[in-house]
Amino acid sequence: MHALGPAGSDAGPGTQASLDAAPPGTKTVLGAAEIRRALTRIAHEILERTDGAADVMLLGIPTRGVPLAHRLADRLSQAEHGLVPAGSLDITMYRDDLRLRPARTLGHTDVPPAGIDGRVVVLVDDVLYSGRTVRAALDALVDLGRPRAVQLAVLVDRGHRELPIRADYVGKNLPTSQREVVRVLLEETDGQDAVLLGDDGGGA
């Protein structure tokens, strides 16, 4: 939920109360079935690109990257009959915009006991936008160890990069204007699966 929209749209779960499929002023870009298919495709791409995901570890970026990482890990484990570890990586303390807002509540970092040294770490986030979240995640990762390689999987790439960063696995490329807001809803955090696109009218 980090690189999500213009300033102000990075709202916590508490403000995401509205559960209508598509609230007024927004439209559903991906439904539950499409999200499921996109994750299955990403899982297969990871298997192809990493020779069966032997050394892979998935780290989700809170909030919504974490359930996505676990869903991908389940698919990888089913496909290869081996357990693919998944965890979470909080990047709050590494953000470059900490001084622009009140101190943020920290998310949870949970690195599987195997550690990241020598592994192929796939970072998982819901939306790729400016790329600043991923920059912070790379810094956070360096402090945890030395992965063999780092890759990036996102459910939605909405463009407007501000840093030289790209995703290795993309669920859907979604051309947007910077005024628009992309909201990802997930069963685990919001009670339903959907990707919504809306205007930044009155704050999403």
Partner 1 sequence: MNRHLISAADLSRDDALLILDTAEELAQMADRPIRKLPTLRGRTVVNLFYEDSTRTRISFEAAAKRLSADVINFSAKGSSVAKGESLKDTALTLEAMGADAVVIRHGASGAPHRLAGWVRGSVVNAGDGAHEHPTQALLDAFTMRRRLGRLEGLRVAIVGDVLHSRVARSNVRLLRTLGAEVMLVAPPTLLPVAVGGWPCEVSYDLDAALPKADVVMMLRVQQERMNAAYFPTVREYSRRYGLDSRRMALLPEHAIIMHPGPMNRGVEIAADVADSVRSTIVEQVSNGVSVRMAVLYLLLGGSEAQR
Binding site for partner 1 (CB under 8 A): 90, 93-94, 98-109, 139, 142-145
Q: Considering the complex, state which of residue 73 and residue 116 has its C-beta at the smaller distance from partner 1.
A: 116
Calpha distance 8→66 (Å, rounded): 22
Q: Considering the complex, state which of residue 111 and residue 149 has its C-beta at the smaller distance from partner 1.
A: 111
Q: Could you tell me the smallest distance in angstroms from the CB atom of residue 28 to partner 1?
A: 34
Q: Does residue 105 have a cis bond before it (omega within 30 degrees)?
A: no
Calpha distance 71→188 (Å, rounded): 10
Handedness of CA 147, 148, 154, 157 (dihedral sign): positive
Q: Could you tell me the smallest distance in angstroms from the CB atom of residue 107 to partner 1?
A: 8
Q: Are 55 and 33 in contact (CB under 8 A)?
A: no
Q: Considering the complex, state which of residue 98 and residue 114 has its C-beta at the smaller distance from partner 1.
A: 98
Q: Could you tell me the smallest distance in angstroms from the CB atom of residue 96 to partner 1?
A: 10
Q: Could you tell me the smallest distance in angstroms from the CB atom of residue 144 to partner 1?
A: 6
Calpha distance 112→122 (Å, rounded): 13
Q: Considering the complex, state which of residue 48 and residue 97 has its C-beta at the smaller distance from partner 1.
A: 97
Per DSSP, the three-state class of 125 is strand
Q: Could you tell me the smallest distance in angstroms from the CB atom of residue 159 to partner 1?
A: 28
Handedness of CA 30, 33, 36, 42 (dihedral sign): negative
Q: Considering the complex, state which of residue 145 and residue 203 has its C-beta at the smaller distance from partner 1.
A: 145
Q: Considering the complex, state which of residue 90 and residue 193 has its C-beta at the smaller distance from partner 1.
A: 90
Closest CA to 76 of 104, 96, 102, 56: 56
Closest CA to 82 of 70, 74, 71: 74
Q: Could you tell me the smallest distance in angstroms from the CB atom of residue 115 to partner 1?
A: 9
